[in-house]
Every structure is written in structure tokens, then in C-alpha cells.
Chains A and B, each alone.
Chain A
């Protein structure tokens, strides 16, 4: 273990940002964790106080502080509403990295972030081996969401209701893409994200179908690494840098107008975190990342703002659909009207707003891996709001949210299906 002094001095670099917290406690109103537990250590004010205490050696138990820091969805609700404008997400992500560099990252996390997610071929092979065997492990739940669960794997994945793994990942179906521009047309990099490539493959295919319909040329590589957000949230800055290096290597050689992703978390990571972490590689990487950042867009935003897709009047027999705002999209990037507009572009659906549409669903990416019980408790409130809206379909523009929504709806045996807004729009083409 590194020495405590080094930990303290690294944490002190956060002090100027932490002290901006005036401890008003307003974060309690919006924090999904606090909503579930009502514990001060679960809300931003409490966590900032603990990081500050650790930096000032008022508490000398980094593990205890790390455990508290881990009980956060990184949804950014607190930051979006913080009266003092504290950069809470930056502080939390950096604090996690500093504390874990002292405590050491567990072997499992290291294996996932530094080996699996940074080496796509290994990830891909393991998925390919796993998928055909999945019918042996999983049991159909007979719910509207077509989910499966696995009593055998319960120790590993808990009582999760998941969509069954696709037979083949996206890149195995479509291969590498590097289409020429239609004359005068646009060219985009389609970054499907891990979940788009390996889990919600039909959703990703719908994205490609839509891009093709609008005559947008697509570049996509089977060698894309993870965007890096799971590593960063787990305090593994080095894992993020490894993945970023791989992605920059691919993207710096392509000519394109935009990077689009169907995942709010990937979008916000590329836009906001890549330039920060690229600075750890070298100046050139940072400049490339900054340029990429400007060209990166959520696919719903691209379709509406760039291609001009717009709403139409719903048919008489339209079915009702509601929309869940993913945290990284709405609170992080301010994208909220575009996915709704996309839903309205399909006359087969009538859009209804749900209560607390922008309240976190409780997935939080890797949060759900470590805190499934809390994740479910937070998800239940989202589920209640979905059901109260009487919508037959709920859309979310982030695969992690989709997975969480399917899990909670399936557990409640609700007759509500989950779709990505692009899937809804693709149905019209």
C-alpha cells in the first residue's frame, strides 16, 4: 500500500472544489440514493464532507470513504441542481481514482477494465462462447419484456431479469464499415458502445437502418474499445486511458463529420471525459480528443437537429409511449427534446409525459453490479411512474437505462415494453 501522506496530498488537490459546497443540503431533494436510504453519507453533501475529512486526516479510514463513494449512481442530479455550482461529478470520479490508487483496485475490476474492455477481441470471444450456452443457463420469465433470469447464476447476477443474449454481436453481423460519402452527403462514425454491440444488437441495427435511410455514410470498427466510463466510475483512470488510446488510434485515421452513439453515457464520456483523460497520454491525443468531442452527438440529437427529423400527428389508434430521460443525456448534455421529437415522428405512437421523467432509473452502470438491491429499490420508483403514465411502451436513449427498465418492469409483471427512440423511429422506415 502506498503511504497515507501521498493519498492525503492528492486529495488536497480537490479541496478548492470541495470547499465550494456551502452544505445547504439541496442535493437531498434530487439524489436517487438519498431518496432510497435517507442517509446523509449517501448524498453529495455527505460524500464531499467525507472526502474533505479524509484529505484533512480527520478520518483515517480510506476504505470506509471508498465504500461511501461507491454508493453513488454518478447520475449528476446533484450537480445539475447545485446552487454553488460544485463540480461534484469531477470530484467524485477523481476521488474514487485517488482512493483506489491507494487501496488498490480489486483483481476482478482490474481484469474487467484493463483486460476485457480494453481488448475487444477478448471480450468478443467470451461473448461468442457464452451466448450459445445461454439457453442452458437462463429461464424465460414469460413477461412483456421477453426477459430471462438465471437461478444457476444467481450468485453472480442476482435475481436479474435480462433480455437474453443475442446470438451474434453487431460487429459480427455487419462487419467493419467504411462507406463512401454519397456526394455532398454526411459521414458519421457510429460508436455502438459495448451494450449496443453485444446486447441490444437490434437497437444498434435500427440505428444503422436509419442512417442508411437518410443516406448517411457510416464508419464502424469491430475494434472499438469501451468508451471508458465503467473504468472511470470504478476509480480506474488507467483503464480509461488504455481504452481511450485504442479508440483514438482508430478514430484519428478516419474522415467524418460526426461521431454518433445510441448511448447517453458513451456520448457524454466521449464529449466530456475523453479530452480530460487524453491529457494523460500526450498533447497530440488531447488535441484529437478535443476535436472529436466537438463532433460527438447523441444519435437522437443528430437525427433531429442535423437531419431534421420531426414529429407528426399521431394516428387515431396510436399506442401510448412515454420517455425516460437518461441522466448523462439530460443532466449531462442537455439533450431532452430531441428523443421526444423522435418518438413523435412515428404516428403509431402517442407521446405521454411521465412524472419525474428525469429522475435516475437506478442503474448507474457498474453501480448495479455492486448494489443490486439499492438499484432495484430506486428503479421501483421509476417503474411506478412509468406505470402511472399508462403508457404501453417506455423509451430510453441509453442501453443501461433500457436494461434497468426491463428488469424492474419484468419483476413487476407489467405489460410495458422498452424501446430505444431510434427503434421507434426506425419502425416507420
Chain B
């Protein structure tokens, strides 16, 4: 049980309204969006200033208490689930100020709790563009986006969160204040510690501020939807578009199972017999967009698309996107438990990966709908099940094991954008190497001698040399 004297000290430091120690409150910080068992923390603190955040880390370090930093708790690999019942959860949601948007030098300075969509909207209001658009962006926050290197739909052309981090300020495990990067395009002052913090999943430091790169927005865009009777042809079309030197801002696909389920639910008249549909959007200068859209259409037809629909206006574009927008919501309604995976393979391996997913789903008798970011090979095989059915859930876990094996064999990766957390830690060595695990652990131990920062996540600081 949590030390009540310690709780009192935090209440004095942060105000009673920023320390949550009741059983009911603690239980609501025991989970995130990953399908994993909850762990109830000792208590939860919510610093409201950077200075308070630093003091909290110092205090927890001195007391030797493990800490888990939590933004919006949308993590899909368990990164924000407390490690033990002794863990103190540090909330960043009250550190949510956009400190600066610089339209001359094209950057924004933000606190970690700024909601991604709020940043994107504030930036857009000033005529600029913050491209990373993770699926949870309406609630997720920048600190978590950096700590997980969040991706999104625009990855192929615009990159992911890591491509927009210019600088990071953070507290190390002892509470020491670390600054890396700057407001300049170029900066080689010391180690690239900002880069190290990206996708560190809360294991190397507590992010207190970030400088994010902004870009000018595209002035035009055009979307089209193509139907295919064969996954291989769809993949060839994807390769064909890239070979034409066109980088669509989004290049998404839905498999047959997803198409049928979305159509069952929405009755929007999707091609129920199609093996796949591709949704492609190009953006940029209007003239460039017109050329690119024409080229895309040509490639799609040459690669055997059975139908190509080009949106004539904004309303039609919204309509075309409806199928993709509905993919996850519809799949999530099929069964009580939705396990959203993000195995990623090189683009050219998509047909092989899709074939494997189909075979695995048959072999283990599990319902899998797959959609995802075809442009970057980032698939979202979505396993539909009921975790209360232990026998079925065991089959789902076995199917996921085998799927990762295939992804790795195809030179792909366990996780394109959801992170390792505790959910995928057991597969890490398979994709990387024993040396990678040991190196990572030594790095952690050097920086976090007491093993307090999200200790069981990623490679697990407590594991042996």
C-alpha cells in the first residue's frame, strides 16, 4: 500500500487536486488501449508545470519508486500500464501548453501533454502543416507520440513523428534536466539525445518539452479509389505508383474481409467481391496534383484495377474515404475483443504477408480483418475475438506468434507504429539480436541505475546481462 506520508508530500507539492490516491481513481490508470491485464498503480500525480515535473522525478528517484509516464493512455502495446503496484503514474495532461508557433522558422515549441490534433489545428490556423496523423490524434499527446514514434496515414510521403522532432528537453531518471536539439534546422551539439528519446517508450527519460518541425501545407489534393480482384495486382499497382516517382500522401488498402464487413454495416455499396481496394490521395501544387493523379490512374488501370473512382470534389473525396474511416470501427463491433496489430513488411512483400495472414487465420480458425498503410507496408491485421473465451484467445495468441514469424522472415518488423511495450517484448530478440537486447539493457542500466523508468517495458531493465 502506498505510503500515505509520501502522498501527503506530493499533495503539498502539487495541490490535492493533482494527486489521485483513491482506489476508484487509481483503477482508472491501470490500463491503456492494449489488450493486456491491468496493473493498479500506488497513486497518480499530475504536475502542472515543468518545474513540478522535475521535482516529482527527483522525489520518486530519491524514494526509489518506479514511474510510468502517461499522456492520453492510447498506447496499443501496454507502454502506459504500470509495471507494479508500487508504480506512481505521472500524468502529462496538465502540461498542455503550446508555447510558440514560429511561422518564420517553421517550428512549434510544445509541452508533452499537448493533444496532437490541437497542435495540428493551431498550426493550420497559422497557415502551416504538422503532418503526423496517428489514428488516435484526436486525443493522443505529443509526448506520447515522441515516446512511441507514432506513425499514421501520411507516413509514406511525410514520414512519422521522428521526422518532425527538432529538439527535446527531458528529465533523466534522477531528475537531471537534459536538453538536446534546438530551434535550428541544423544542430550537432553533442549526442543526438533527442533522437535517443524518440521511441524510447518512457524508459530513458521524462519528456518535458519538444520543438517540432512544421512544413508549408499542400495547396491541393485529389483522391481516388481502385478495386482489385487479386491482392498481387493491388501490390503491383502500389509498386507501380512508386516506380513512377509519385509519392501519394496516403496509400491505404482494405482486404476482402474488411470490405464485406464495412459494407454489411454501412451499406455504402462497396465491391464485396474485390480482393482489395486501394485508396490513394496525392497532394501538392495544383498542377503537380493534376499530373500525379492522372499518372496514378494510368498505373492503376495498367496493373489490372477492375474499377477506378476519382473524386471530383471535396464531398466525393469524403465519400471515398468513408470505407477507410469505417474500417476499424466496423471491425471493432464484430466481436467484444479487438486486437489491433501492426506487423509491417517491405512494400513488395505485402501479397506474401497477406497470403500468410489468410492462411494463418484459416489454420487457427480466427477472424482477421486487415487494412492498413499499403504505401509503407504497414498492415493492421485486426483479430476479432472474445478474450473471455480462453480457448479462442489462446488460438489468437498462437496466430499472432506465427504472423510475427512470417513478418520477420519477410524482412519486416513486429511493429510499424504501435511500439513494443510489454505486448511484444518477447519477440524482440527474434527480430533483432541477443546483442541488441544486451546493448539496450546496458544503456538503460547506465542511465537509470535504480531501474525506475517503465522498468518492464521494451527490453526490460531487470533482465540479465
Which residues of A line the B interface, CB within 8 A?
A: 16, 19-20, 22-26, 28-29, 38-41, 45-46, 49-50, 53, 58-59, 61, 64-65, 67-68, 83-85
Contact = CB atoms under 8 A, between A and B. Distances in A.
7 contacts: A19-B386, A25-B72, A25-B73, A26-B136, A29-B138, A39-B20, A50-B24
A103 B338 CA distance: 34
Nearest to B138: A29
Given A24-B74, A29-B117, A64 B22 contact: yes
Nearest to B332: A84
A49 B27 CA distance: 8
Contacts of A59: 23-24, 27
Interface in B23-69: 23-25, 27-33, 35, 38, 46
A49 B28 CA distance: 7
A65 B94 CA distance: 24
Nearest to A82: B329
A99 to B, nearest CB: 12
A61 B138 contact: no
A218 B336 CA distance: 47
B250 to A, nearest CB: 19
A213 B132 CA distance: 56
Given A19-B336, A24-B33, A38-B94, A29 B139 contact: yes
Contact of B333 (A39, A41, A61, A84): A84
B328 interface: yes
A176 B55 CA distance: 68
A20 B333 contact: yes
B312 interface: no
A224 B337 CA distance: 45
Contacts of B31: 23, 49
Given A39-B25, A53-B27, A23 B33 contact: yes
Could you say which interface size class chain B belongs to?
Answer: 35 or more
Contacts of A22: 33, 35, 332, 337-338, 340
Interface in B66-93: 72-74, 91, 93
A24 B73 CA distance: 8
B388 interface: yes
B136 A24 contact: yes
Contact of B136 (A25, A45, A58): A25
B27 A28 contact: no
B335 to A, nearest CB: 9
A397 to B, nearest CB: 27
Contacts of A38: 46, 91, 93-94
The 9 A-B pairs of least Cβ separation, nearest first, read: A46-B28, A40-B28, A29-B138, A83-B329, A64-B24, A84-B332, A19-B336, A28-B139, A41-B28
B332 A83 contact: yes
Contact of A84 (B38, B91, B94, B338): B338
Given A26-B136, A64-B24, 16 more contacts: A19-B336, A20-B336, A24-B74, A24-B136, A29-B117, A38-B91, A38-B94, A41-B24, A45-B28, A50-B24, A59-B24, A61-B23, A64-B23, A83-B332, A84-B338, A85-B333
Contact of B27 (A16, A20, A26, A58): A58
